Structures are given as C-alpha cells and as structure tokens.
C-alpha cells in the first residue's frame, strides 16, 4: 500500500490515509487501497473494530483529488462517482465490522462523505467539516447529498451543501454529525475506548444490527422486516448461545463471531 498505513493492536485495525502533503485527498489509487484494506479487515475474524484517520496535523481528508478530475467529461464524472460509491463508500457503510472515523482535521467533500459512511464519528476540536463541492461547480458525489440529510436533517444539509461553508467540530456535534468532540491529543484514545467497548460484544449480532439499521435507511418498511429477519438469524448463532449462557452463568461472554 502506497497511500495508506495499516496497523493492528489486539482486535482493533487502524487505517490511516497517508498523503499529508496533499491533505490526504482521495485519488483513485487511495480509494482502491482503502477498498482493499476495508475488505480484508472485514474478512479477518480477529478484527472487531476499525479506526479510520488521516496522517499529519492538518487533515482527515480534504476531499476527492481535484487534480484528477479537473478535465473530466460528463461520462467520466458519472463513472468516478459510481465507482466510488461501489468500491468504497457503500462498502464501508455496509461492512459487518464497525468503523469509527477519528476526524483529526479537515473533513471536506469526499472526506466528510467517507466519515459519514463510517458507523461512528469522533472529531478533534480543531476539525473543520463541510461539503464545498458547489464552490467548484460540482455536487457531492460520494453519497454526501443523501448521508448528510440522513444525519442532520434536510434543512441543515441544504445549508451546508448550498453555502459550501465549513462548520466547526462543536457545531457538527450539536447537529449530530459527530458523536463526540475531544482535544486533539485525546482523539485516538476516545476512539479506542469506543472500539474496545464494541470488541466486548457479539460480532455476529453487531453485523446483523448494522444490516437492519442500513436496510431502514434505504426503505423504512423494509427496515422493520430486515430487523425481524436479522433478529431471528441471531438465534442461530454460536455468539447468541454464548451471550445468553454467559449471562445466566454470571460470567463474561467470550464471543467467537460464529
């Protein structure tokens, strides 16, 4: 991998975008590497949570790489967006392993869109967030028009997208766009605290819960049906037997993810 760094500590996988001189902008290669890293992490039974962050002091990700698409045609623009949705943004949103975005600086355009694809977001109080695409004559193309409205409501999403302005981490927190705001030095430890809490729980049940939540976002009535199916499916897992036995035997559960 040329553009990302992958580390593992116990059951937590760390994926760090490492193009700090370009403010971690997402070029096609970085998207491909991230896609592979997320898929491999999700297939690895030992990994129970993933933390995504950006290298350097300044940026989480300052967007899609503008230098790459500045001379694109209509067809190429459509293809860039479609490929991004499929290979990375929808992939992350639908992983069975929870992903926590640790937003250490600018999260703009495709950067905020990737953070919004993650299951949980935590931001440093220095972070700035926004979807500045209309200032470039384009629109958010990696799911931003949909996921921002889901997270903060249509009115606020419209304001953020149409003004192309940046909001502070604190403002993002107040509108539910990020779950927590920390001092820069406390960002990773807060993300790890949440990841470790997740690691205690049943990976199978976590995967099923993610599926049910996502199904409802696509289609409300389908979401309730998916919940019923996923709830039933959980009863067939070893994790369910282990979780309920551990409770009844007054001991800690040791989940295997089966």
Q: Are 199 and 49 in contact (CB under 8 A)?
A: yes
Give residue for tokens 């990696």: 142
Assess 64 for contact with ligand CAA (CB under 6 A): yes
Measured between alpha carbons, how far is 108 from 212 in angstroms, rounded to an integer? Answer: 28
Segment lying near ligand CAA (by CB under 6 A), choices 117-125, 141-149, 213-221, 229-237: 141-149
Measured between alpha carbons, how far is 136 from 25 in angstroms, rounded to an integer? Answer: 15
Biggest CA–CA distance in the chain, Å, is 64
Assess 215 for contact with ligand CAA (CB under 6 A): no
Vertex 185: Cα angle to 200 and 197 (nearest 5): 5
| Least distance CB 140 / ligand CAA (angstroms) | 4
* Edge-to-edge strand ranges of the sheet holding 59-61: 59-61, 106-108, 128-130, 166-168
- Residue 195: which of 114, 131, 102 has the closest Cα? 102
Which residues contact residue 2 at a Cβ distance below 8 angstroms, ignoring those fewer than 6 apart? Answer: 29, 33
Q: Choose which of 33, 42, 65, 192 interacts with ligand CAA (CB under 6 A).
A: 65
Q: Choose which of 37, 93, 95, 132 interacts with ligand CAA (CB under 6 A).
A: 132
Q: In DSSP terms, which residues pair with 13 in a beta bridge?
A: 8, 50
Q: Choose which of 1, 28, 136, 253 interacts with ligand CAA (CB under 6 A).
A: 136
Measured between alpha carbons, how far is 172 from 170 in angstroms, rounded to an integer? Answer: 5
Residue 129 backbone dihedrals phi, psi, to 5 degrees = -125, 145
Assess 149 for contact with ligand CAA (CB under 6 A): no
DSSP 250: T
Choice between 24 and 97, CB closer to ligand CAA = 24
Assess 142 for contact with ligand CAA (CB under 6 A): yes
Q: Choose which of 4, 25, 88, 99 interacts with ligand CAA (CB under 6 A).
A: 25
Known active-site residue 29: no
Catalytic residue, chosen from 57, 133, 238, 249, is 133
Choice between 76 and 256, CB closer to ligand CAA = 76
Please report how the helices 203-218 and 220-234 are oriented relative to each other, as an axis angle in degrees rounded to 10.
160
Choice between 64 and 95, CB closer to ligand CAA = 64
CA distances from 49 to 15, 100, 155 (A): 11, 8, 32
Known active-site residue 86: no
Q: Choose which of 57, 67, 153, 225 interacts with ligand CAA (CB under 6 A).
A: 67
Assess 146 for contact with ligand CAA (CB under 6 A): no
Q: Are 134 and 161 in contact (CB under 8 A)?
A: yes
Choice between 32 and 246, CB closer to ligand CAA = 32
Q: Choose which of 1, 6, 18, 22 interacts with ligand CAA (CB under 6 A).
A: 22
Site track for ligand CAA across 81-110, x = CB under 6 A: -------------------------x-xxx
User: What are the residues binding ligand CAA (CB under 6 A)?
Assistant: 22-23, 25, 62-67, 106, 108-110, 113, 132-133, 136, 140-142, 144
Active site residues: 113, 133
């Amino acid at each position: 991998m040329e553009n990302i760094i992958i580390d593992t500590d116990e059951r937590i996988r760390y994926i760090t975008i490492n193009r700090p001189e370009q403010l971690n902008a997402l070029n096609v290669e970085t998207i491909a590497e991230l896609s592979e890293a997320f898929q491999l992490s999700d297939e690895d039974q030992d990994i129970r949570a993933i933390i995504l962050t950006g290298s350097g002091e300044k940026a989480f990700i300052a967007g899609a790489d503008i230098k790459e698409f500045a001379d694109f045609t209509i067809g190429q623009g459509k293809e860039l967006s479609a490929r991004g949705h499929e290979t990375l943004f929808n992939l992350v949103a639908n992983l069975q392993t929870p992903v926590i975005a640790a937003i250490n600086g600018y999260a703009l355009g495709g950067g905020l869109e990737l953070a919004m694809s993650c299951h949980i977001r935590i931001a440093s109080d220095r972070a700035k967030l926004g979807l500045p695409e209309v200032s470039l004559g384009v629109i958010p193309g990696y799911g931003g028009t949909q996921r921002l409205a889901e997270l903060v409501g249509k009115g606020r999403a419209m304001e953020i997208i149409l003004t192309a302005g940046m909001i502070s981490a604190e403002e993002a927190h107040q509108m539910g766009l990020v779950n927590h705001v920390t001092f820069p030095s406390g960002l990773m430890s807060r993300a790890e605290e949440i990841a470790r809490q997740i690691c205690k729980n049943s990976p199978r049940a976590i995967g099923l819960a993610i599926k049910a939540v996502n199904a409802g976002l696509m289609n409300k009535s389908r979401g309730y049906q998916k919940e019923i199916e996923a709830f039933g499916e959980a009863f067939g897992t070893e994790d369910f037997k282990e979780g309920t036995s551990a409770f009844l035997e007054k001991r800690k559960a040791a989940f295997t993810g089966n």
